[in-house]
Amino acid sequence: MIVELPRWPLADRLTLALGLAAGLVLEAVLARYPGAPVGIGAASSAVLLLWFALQRRRRPLALEFAPSVDHLRFSDGHAVPFVVGPGSRVLGSTVALDWQSADGADSLWLTPADLSHEALRRLAVRLLASRPGQR
């Protein structure tokens, strides 16, 4: 089973929007104080954007579930074996996916805004089947 991951998951879009809004609010609050430095909100938003861009570069494009070994597929074509981490959960109609690989560990929250209900259901079944003691 191959699950194509969205380019911009809802969780990433919300993180980005909240970070930018926090920078704007910080800038507006500091503007009320005459001695406060100018541009701190913009600088904090720029740092957040840089961190966000670096985090997204290591995000896989697809998850490939196979009977023997599961793989993460990346944009440059290479595949890395992974195991589903203990933090993976089915939360209502969403899936919090946690994985561990040789490249490190990461997580992703997938919602119906990211994947079809059928793809989320298949992913949830796969996660429940891959829990320790089930394989």
Note the pLDDT of residue 17: 92
Residue 45 has pLDDT above 60, yes or no: yes
Q: Is the pTM of this model over 0.85?
A: no
DSSP E strands in the chain: the ranges are 2-4, 62-64, 70-73, 79-84, 89-91, 94-101, 104-110
Domain positions in the chain: 1-135
Q: Which residue has the tokens 């429940």?
A: 128
- Convert the pLDDT of each residue in 80-118 to its tens digit: 999 888 888 899 999 999 888 888 888 889 999 999 999
